[in-house]
Amino acid sequence: MLGLCNAVTLARAAMVAFLAGAVVSGIASSWWVFGVALFAFTLDGVDGWLARKAGLASDFGARFDMETDAGLAAIVSLWLWTSGITGPEILVLGFMRYAFVLASLVWTRLQAHLPPSFRRKAICAVQIGTLILLTFPWTPDGLIGPAAVLAALLLSWSFLTDILWLARQTG
């Protein structure tokens, strides 16, 4: 069942698609990227709450939400890089999920199920929140590098934690 929860996630996915088009066409201004990304991120907590409230929480909905988050991170990191705000190192924040998926094609242990994790959710929020902070036109230049590095270190640690856990469980 689609439900309001998945409709909210679908609206978030549409915002990500809008941003992707704006980034690829080169017409994405800082304020547009910031505003649309912030709105999509704000709605991120709404879809899960609606799903739980309506009794519609599902693996599909959780995966749809996660992939929408990953897409938002990828598009915003690409914009930060192509707009010259950061260097290519910002792509760690946008493409770590996709690198993990590609690695799982080679190392199949990474395809095993991971239990729900508050750590993962919290670090995802830090990751996307940092990316959005970096799109804010008035973010001080001196904050950009340290914020990006801290978020990338947290994200890397989280993925490493999951990789090690999967290696122990399936090895």
Q: How many CB atoms lie within 10 A of CB 126?
A: 17
For tokens 């959005």, the residue is: 132
Distance, in Å, from the CA atom of 77 to the CA atom of 159, rounded to the nearest integer, reads 18
CATH number at residue 96: 1.20.120.1760
- Residue 129 sits in which domain range? 3-170
Give tens-digit pLDDT for 39-51: 999 999 898 899 9
Give tens-digit pLDDT for 106-150: 999 999 999 999 999 999 999 999 999 999 999 999 999 999 999
Select from 119, 101, 41 the least CA-distant residue to 76: 41
Distance, in Å, from the CA atom of 127 to the CA atom of 77, rounded to the nearest integer, reads 10
The total number of structural domains that make up the chain: 1
For tokens 């770590």, the residue is: 96
For tokens 């010259």, the residue is: 84
Q: What is the mean pLDDT of the chain?
A: 94
State pTM to two decimals: 0.94
